[in-house]
Amino acid sequence: MDHLFFAIAVVIVAGFSVLSAGHALIMKRDPRSALGWITICLTIPLIGALSYWSMGVNRIFRRARKWQESGRRLAGSEYFRAFPEHDAAIVMPPGAEYMGELRRLADRVVSAPLVGGNRVEPLENGEEAYPAMLAAIAAARDSIHLSTYIFDTDGTGRRFIAALAAAAARGVTVRVIIDGIGEKYSFPRARKLLERAGIQVARFLPLRQGIYMNLRSHRKLLVVDGLKAYSGGMNIGDRHLVNRPDPTAVKDLHFVVEGTVVGELQRVFLEDWHFVTGELLDDERYFPAVPPTGEALARAIGDGPDKEFRKLQWILLGALSRATRHVRIMTPYFIPDRTLIAALVTTALRGVEVTLILPERNNLPYVHWATRAYLWELLQQGIRVFYQPPPFVHTKLLLVDGLWSLIGSANLDPRSLRLNFELNLEVYDRELSGRLARHFAAALAKSREVTLAEMDSRPLSEKLRDSTAKLFSPYL
């Protein structure tokens, strides 16, 4: 009898292993990944198959698509007021005609249109961004919509809570979305304080709905009266006030946005509000007529794992392919996949000057280690890499040829490009690009260049550590 049970167990384990290997063969797009998982499933009984189903199967897209199909997450902008067709009216800036292919790519993969008549201005650190945002909240007459990953309850957080409460008290509709994990960065929770002030507040995927360490809302957005928006890389908290003696200070850029594109930013918020509350808000009061306020062409790019395309990554690749003179990149977290590495190297080999600024001291050491394991390949092909000294710089910028800028919440890592919900703006505007290029140059002047010799001369212990961290790149 014992032999019979043993034989049955062997058959079940073998069948489970073959089933798992077959699933990897059919479902994995990367043949190297498929071969690796097939080998593990077939050579390590039971453990290999269990490892595949726990770590090798990407349920993120499937779960997000299920939400979309059920109506919990909206697809496109058909539920909100449609914008008129702008294609015929939009003319690329003089000298930017060669960027038309990038525009056509974005037209194909992003539901939001490229619209003119916008003004986008950078605000440096909390010292510039927070007073402007608080003033906009104080001047609001109809609605305030705020979405953030982290909402601390320190001095800055409490000033925002007081301003939002005062707006609600005078009859302004105030809605706030805080990420379900981001809210846990401080105590007491901002959500509790907001609710006590009578403000409508919702959490994006609270942990009681499932242990979603991924699928976070990393978006930062404030829309006031549907007329003015603030977006970029800053959360809400004292950490972004850098003019104080605090080693945990975080430098960053935020942006004030005015013009037609504010309507698309409003749509992104209302989609998220429907997702977290089930309340569909398509009232025209949230989409007032917005007069032209500047010369910038802009497009809102709301990306996440519920989208059919990895639209942000495709736009990055398109922008690199159109660059003719220089590409300037500043990012706090840089963990490129093979496709992005190939695009950067190809851009540099075409003779384009590619410059990358990273923080010398990262707030996530293991990300810094993994990044170091990639740098030698870029340095070998002439890409210049610089380390920016402390305090930690959280700014995300990608500038092409003094014409095109990509700004917003996304980092150049798998978490932003594949796992989280992000919000960016692509902007065609020489004035904005010039200001950001000057900001980049000022940061470059304070930074030190990383050399290939430096990477090659790392002690063996550091190389092993960095390469080990690199193995976990898809999960960092």
The confidence score (pLDDT) of residue 333 equals 96
Answer yes or no: do 318 and 291 share one domain. Answer: no
Residue with the bigger pLDDT between 42 and 211: it is 42
Is residue 74, in this structure, part of any structural domain at all? no
CA distance 248 to 392: 8
CA distance 348 to 358: 18
The confidence score (pLDDT) of residue 84 equals 44
Cα-to-chain-centroid distance, residue 63: 19
Domain boundary among 262, 279, 302: 302
- What is the mean predicted confidence (pLDDT) over 222-242? 97
Give the pLDDT band of residue 94 (cuts 50, 70, 90). Answer: confident
Query: Of the given ranges (92-101, 233-242, 403-412), which has the lowest mean pLDDT?
Result: 92-101
CA distance 441 to 450: 16
- DSSP assignment string, 23-46: HHHHH-SSHHHHHHHHHHHHHSTT
Is residue 252, in this structure, part of any structural domain at all? yes
CB 296 within 8 A of CB 118: yes
Q: Which helix (H) or strand (E) holds 397?
A: strand 397-400
CB 99 within 8 A of CB 429: no
Query: Of the given ranges (153-157, 212-216, 326-330), which has the lowest mean pLDDT?
Result: 212-216
The confidence score (pLDDT) of residue 86 equals 46
The confidence score (pLDDT) of residue 74 equals 53
The confidence score (pLDDT) of residue 40 equals 87
- What is the mean predicted confidence (pLDDT) over 48-69? 66
Answer yes or no: do 258 and 378 share one domain. Answer: no
Is residue 254, in this structure, part of any structural domain at all? yes
Query: Of the given ranges (23-32, 43-52, 76-85, 437-446), which has the lowest mean pLDDT?
Result: 76-85
Answer yes or no: do 134 and 276 share one domain. Answer: yes
Radius of gyration of the chain (CA): 24
Domain boundary among 252, 274, 302: 302
Answer yes or no: do 153 and 291 share one domain. Answer: yes
Is residue 68, in this structure, part of any structural domain at all? no
Answer yes or no: do 242 and 355 share one domain. Answer: no
- What is the mean predicted confidence (pLDDT) over 1-9? 72
The number of domains in the chain is: 3
Is residue 442, in this structure, part of any structural domain at all? yes
CB 312 within 8 A of CB 110: no
Residue with the bigger pLDDT between 13 and 462: it is 462
Residue with the bigger pLDDT between 212 and 17: it is 17
pLDDT digits (tens, 9 = 90+) for 354-403: 999 999 999 889 999 999 999 999 999 999 999 999 999 999 999 999 99
Is residue 62, in this structure, part of any structural domain at all? no
Is residue 443, in this structure, part of any structural domain at all? yes
Which residues are paired to 177 by β-bridges? 147, 202
Answer yes or no: do 149 and 288 share one domain. Answer: yes
Answer yes or no: do 145 and 271 share one domain. Answer: yes
Q: What is the CATH number of the domain that holds 323?
A: 3.30.870.10
CA distance 98 to 338: 26
Residues 6+ apart with CB under 8 A from 432: 120, 121, 122, 296, 405
Answer yes or no: do 471 and 335 share one domain. Answer: yes
pLDDT surpasses 50 at 210: no
DSSP-derived 3-state class of residue 58:
coil
pLDDT digits (tens, 9 = 90+) for 126-176: 999 999 999 999 999 999 999 999 999 999 999 999 999 999 999 999 999
Answer yes or no: do 211 and 170 share one domain. Answer: yes
Which of the given ranges, 9-23, 51-65, 298-312, has the highest pLDDT on average?
Answer: 9-23
- What is the mean predicted confidence (pLDDT) over 172-195? 92
Q: Which domain holds residue 346?
A: 311-475
The confidence score (pLDDT) of residue 216 equals 85
Tokens of 4: 């019979």
Alpha-carbon dihedral angle through residues 213, 210, 305, 300, given to the nearest 10 degrees = -90
The confidence score (pLDDT) of residue 54 equals 65
The confidence score (pLDDT) of residue 82 equals 41
Residues 6+ apart with CB under 8 A from 452: 376, 379, 380
| Dihedrals phi, psi of 306, to nearest 5 degrees | -90, 0
Looking at every residue in the chain, the average pLDDT score rounds to: 88
The percentage of residues in the chain with a pLDDT greater than 90, rounded to a whole number, is 64
Answer yes or no: do 161 and 108 share one domain. Answer: yes
pLDDT digits (tens, 9 = 90+) for 433-464: 999 999 999 999 999 999 999 999 999 999 99
Give the pLDDT band of residue 81 (cuts 50, 70, 90). Answer: very low
Give the pLDDT band of residue 85 (cuts 50, 70, 90). Answer: very low
Answer yes or no: do 286 and 316 share one domain. Answer: no
- What is the mean predicted confidence (pLDDT) over 85-96? 72
Q: Is the dihedral of CA 265, 271, 273, 279 positive or negative?
A: positive
Other CB atoms within a 10 A radius of the CB of residue 169 amount to: 12
- What is the mean predicted confidence (pLDDT) over 283-290? 91
Name the amino acid, one letter, at 231. Answer: S
Answer yes or no: do 237 and 376 share one domain. Answer: no
Residue with the bigger pLDDT between 101 and 209: it is 101
Cα-to-chain-centroid distance, residue 9: 46
pLDDT surpasses 90 at 76: no
CA distances from 270 to 80, 222, 230, 276, 285 (A): 9, 12, 15, 10, 13
The closest of 16, 244, 281, 255 to 145, measured between CA atoms, is 281
Domain boundary among 257, 276, 302: 302
The confidence score (pLDDT) of residue 163 equals 97
pLDDT digits (tens, 9 = 90+) for 272-283: 999 899 898 888
Is residue 29, in this structure, part of any structural domain at all? yes
CA distance 101 to 93: 14
